[in-house]
Amino acid sequence: MKVASVVAAVVASSSASSVFRSSAGCPQAAAPRVAAHPLVGYWHNFKNPSGDTYPLSQIGASWDVINIAFAENAGEGKVGFTLDPKAGSEAQFIADIAALKAQGKTVALSLGGQDGYVSLGNAAETANFVSSVTALLTKYGFDGIDVDLESGVSAGLPIIQNLVTGVKQIAHNIGPSFYLSMAPEHPYVQGGAGAYGSIWGSYLPIIDGLRNELTQIHVQYYNNAGFVYPDGRQLKEGTVDCLVGGSLMLIEGFKTNYGKGWEFKGLRPDQVSFGVPSGPKSAGQGFVTADVVSRSLTCLTKGVGCDTISPKQPYPSYRGVMTWSINWDRFD
């Protein structure tokens, strides 16, 4: 499935004017420039089975937010970035970012990934994190960062509060144009509805602590089978209920630890998107059909086309769709 073409078709459909109508009437916090209902994708700064990387200038026009995958752990809290030669020279890369931004695109530096890790165990490492990330954003012209840490985040560890503190300082350094997204796997978020602890729900205090800075969160609803909904049922990846239910937990809120723990207060609908694989080869589990993507968006924004889970009310300002990845979408 070409996610880019599927989402574009939903937006361009005859019902799109009512599904994706402007949210200008809703009170909004100060926010960076970003499409109202973006298609978000990750561009590989590395070679994998989808092929070599390629210059940013070759990215298709359908993509609204381009996350550069990935920054590197440079030790002691520092973050680095080394450009793959297949992407062109550093000067061309910087020029390509500027060109994408001139087209109204958002370009962010993604921190983490499957093997990514940043050590934020103390104040010194947090200071190094802030200074190194701020320097990278300034040097390359990135709009902000995408937090995609898939290891090292566990309930009670110092990284949770230090990450919140560090990102707030980066946001202060960059100013109101700062873009912030998150892409945790669902065990780190909705997983907290079950047994809260260890990795389960460990992103919830990060999301809560950065809700004022957060532009959007697009949880990865793939590669982890499924999760427990607050009413006790198991939601399976690749289904409308999974994408809708996971999104509603973030918008409408939920209690951790099977309803006996602390309550995560919901985010604004325009801060929430869902993340899916771009095709059957880009992820081990959780592939979704075009129909599932379309029905999920329509359910969330219009309250129709749902499966067994429906929103309390339509959320026409629901943000959009993230996919892994731009490179896989072209290949698969």
Dihedral pair phi/psi, residue 97, rounded to 5°: -60, -45
Both structure tokens of 325 = 């990845």
Residue 267, classified by CB atoms within 10 Å of its CB into exposed (0-12), middle (13-18) or buried (19+), is: buried
Predicted TM-score of the model (pTM): 0.93
Q: How many CB atoms lie within 10 A of CB 297?
A: 28
Residue 8 has what pLDDT? Answer: 61
What residues contact residue 108 under an 8 Å CB cut-off, 6+ apart? 65, 66, 67, 68, 142, 143, 144, 145, 146, 179, 181
Packed helices 123-140 and 90-102: angle between N→C axes, nearest 10 degrees:
80
Task: Please give the domain boundaries of the chain with CATH numbers for all domains.
Answer: 3-19+37-331 (3.20.20.80)
Find the catalytic residue in 72, 76, 125, 150.
150
* 8 Å CB contact between 270 and 217: no
Q: Would residue 237 show up in a list of annotated catalytic residues for this protein?
A: no
Both structure tokens of 72 = 């590197």
- Cα gap 245→48, rounded to integer Å: 32
* 8 Å CB contact between 53 and 37: no
> What does each of the 332 residues of the chain score in pLDDT, given as a tens digit?
566 666 666 655 533 433 333 333 333 444 577 999 999 999 999 999 999 999 999 999 999 999 999 999 999 999 999 999 999 999 999 999 999 999 999 999 999 876 677 889 999 999 999 999 999 999 999 999 999 887 778 888 999 999 999 999 999 999 999 999 999 999 999 999 998 999 999 999 999 999 999 999 999 999 999 999 999 999 999 999 999 999 999 999 999 999 999 999 999 999 999 999 999 999 999 999 999 999 999 999 999 999 999 999 999 999 999 999 999 999 88
- Cα gap 33→15, rounded to integer Å: 26
